[in-house]
Chain A
Amino acid sequence: MTRITVTVDGVEYFDEVEPRMLLVQYLRESLGKVGTVIGCDTSNCGACTVHLDGRSVKSCNVLAVQADGHEVTTIEGLAANGSLHPMQTAFHETHALQCGYCTPGMIMQACDLLKDNPDPSEQEIREGLEGNLCRCTGYHNIVRAVQQAAGAMREGVAS
């Protein structure tokens, strides 16, 4: 077992984990954060996307021990003070999901994209989400949600 200190959604955890434990397993099985889902388990689909020190990663492709000393944000840590994040609101309002399985990863990756590019074109959104698969193929509304959230977030910054 290896000792780790990791901050997840603002809470610091001191834990002992098996070195082979994946970050997504740690989040779900040790911390009960089942909002982050396991999709393909081959690092293709992006459903398990979380932020590690503020940047998106596929948590099935990171060992929990690699998160030692770092900060993780999951879909469960996105809402602040009981209010949905603008990206969550936009996914809700534009019906950017069908079965919903890819949604946590889509939202986390879309938030990462807007950090680099607050006003992405449709093409830039599609490329920015290339590592996230929606098997309902509901991409159109996902793109609309990201556009709406980007607009709302720019207004939020301006006001």
Chain B
Amino acid sequence: MIPASFDYLAPATAAEALAALAEHGDDAKVLAGGQSLLPILRMRLNAPEVVIDLGKIPELQGISEDGDHLVIGAMTTYAAVLASEAVSTHAALLSKAVATVADPQIRHRGTVGGALVHADPAGDVGAPVLALGAELVIAGSDGTTRTVTAEDFFEDLFTTAVGEDELLTQIRIPKHTGWGAHYEKFVRVSHQWSIVAIAATVRVEDGAIAEARVGLTNMGATPLRVAGVEAALVGQPPTDEAVRAAVASIADDTNPPSDLNGDSGYRKHLATVLARRAVLAAAGA
């Protein structure tokens, strides 16, 4: 299978890419790592007239520290995130989740920013980014830059706050240094999309959970965060019994999909089981 014909642009700067977007509008598709877009083009689910490749824009790649934040360029590959000691030290939850994405070949090409903007609800980057309270930096073709919270970033199925003439440029993650983390992913086949997954990161102090962040993958149209469960975990010892009770309501307000992998009710059950495992593992229990 071969994509339909398109014109190819490979701008050298983000400003050039934004100018190309402004010119071509919804006739254009942005190519990041291509690991989701190329299958879509090959299967002719989409046939843009213009493909704008961000692969030759060094300013969009790389990981740095800015005070109490980690700053990840949108075109940073999964492999680069996995290799980063800064990420495993200050945002271990992201490292753990990224390690479960697809397979090594895909992780060499796929990018964190590409995955976020693609916004597949079964993707593994959204829930940790949401749980860690990240901010997303979006550049516009008029030269302006705006920052949105992860809550405001994910709008719907495959839909984010990034407009047609905008680019996601950076992911800013508040450092969670010293927090334990675990990403519990349920799949039937290795290297597949999550049927359900739970992203959990906790800070344990004096034998009890002092702070907790919990994100849900594929439990609705967007990644979800359950504040009630996070609050219920605070003060609990990291024991099976206490955590089981604290996460029992995690799926109550969710509306997960039904498909060949499992129906909505099955996913709700899975979420409670996986949440218990994820929180206990994150707490080192």
Which residues of A lie under 8 Å from residue B1 when comparing CB positions?
41
Name the CB-closest residue of B to A44. B191
Which residues of B lie under 8 Å from residue A21 when comparing CB positions?
2
A46 CB-CB contact with B under 8 Å: yes
A100 CB-CB contact with B under 8 Å: no
| Complex contact A62–B38 (CB within 8 A) | yes
Which residues of B lie under 8 Å from residue A41 when comparing CB positions?
1, 42
Name the CB-closest residue of A to B108. A55
Q: A55–B110 Cα gap in the complex (Å)?
A: 13
Which residues of B lie under 8 Å from residue A42 when comparing CB positions?
39, 42-43
Instruction: Choose, from B6-14, B65-73, B277-285, the stretch at the interface.
Output: B6-14
Q: A18–B6 Cα gap in the complex (Å)?
A: 9
**Which residue from B2, B79, B103 sits with its C-beta under 8 Å from A25?**
B2
A102 CB-CB contact with B under 8 Å: no
A35 CB-CB contact with B under 8 Å: no
**Which residue from A58, A63, A68 sits with its C-beta under 8 Å from B106?**
A58
Name the CB-closest residue of B to A113. B104
B62 CB-CB contact with A under 8 Å: no
| Complex contact A109–B104 (CB within 8 A) | yes
A56 CB-CB contact with B under 8 Å: yes
A120 CB-CB contact with B under 8 Å: no
Q: A131–B109 Cα gap in the complex (Å)?
A: 13
Contact with A along B99-124 (1 / 0, CB 8 A): 00011111011000000000000000
Which residues of B lie under 8 Å from residue A60 when comparing CB positions?
42
| Complex contact B53–A49 (CB within 8 A) | no
Contact with A along B9-21 (1 / 0, CB 8 A): 0100000000000
Q: How far is the CB of A99 from chain B (nearest CB, A)?
A: 21
Instruction: Name the interface size band of chain B.
Output: 20 to 34
Which residues of A lie under 8 Å from residue B53 when comparing CB positions?
63, 65-66
Q: A65–B43 Cα gap in the complex (Å)?
A: 19
Q: A127–B173 Cα gap in the complex (Å)?
A: 29
- Considering only residues 23-79 of chain A, those with a C-beta below 8 Å from chain B are 25, 41-44, 46, 49, 52, 55-58, 60-63, 65-66, 68-69
Which residues of A lie under 8 Å from residue B56 when comparing CB positions?
69
B245 CB-CB contact with A under 8 Å: no
| Complex contact B7–A19 (CB within 8 A) | yes
| Complex contact B51–A46 (CB within 8 A) | no
| Complex contact A46–B6 (CB within 8 A) | no
| Complex contact A109–B105 (CB within 8 A) | yes
A98 CB-CB contact with B under 8 Å: no
Given A109-B104, A131-B103, A131-B104, A2:B8 Cβ within 8 A: yes
Q: How far is the CB of A113 from chain B (nearest CB, A)?
A: 7
B174 CB-CB contact with A under 8 Å: no
Which residues of A lie under 8 Å from residue B103 when comparing CB positions?
46, 130-132
Which residues of B lie under 8 Å from residue A65 when comparing CB positions?
8, 10, 53
Contact with A along B30-65 (1 / 0, CB 8 A): 010011001101110000000101011000000000
Residue contacts A-B, CB under 8 angstroms, 24 given: A2-B8, A19-B8, A20-B2, A20-B3, A20-B6, A41-B42, A43-B106, A44-B191, A46-B103, A55-B79, A57-B108, A58-B105, A61-B105, A61-B106, A63-B34, A63-B38, A63-B53, A65-B8, A66-B31, A66-B53, A68-B10, A69-B56, A127-B190, A131-B105
**Known contacts A57-B105, A69-B56; can you find 7 more A-B pairs with CB under 8 A?**
A19-B6, A19-B51, A21-B2, A43-B35, A56-B108, A128-B104, A130-B103
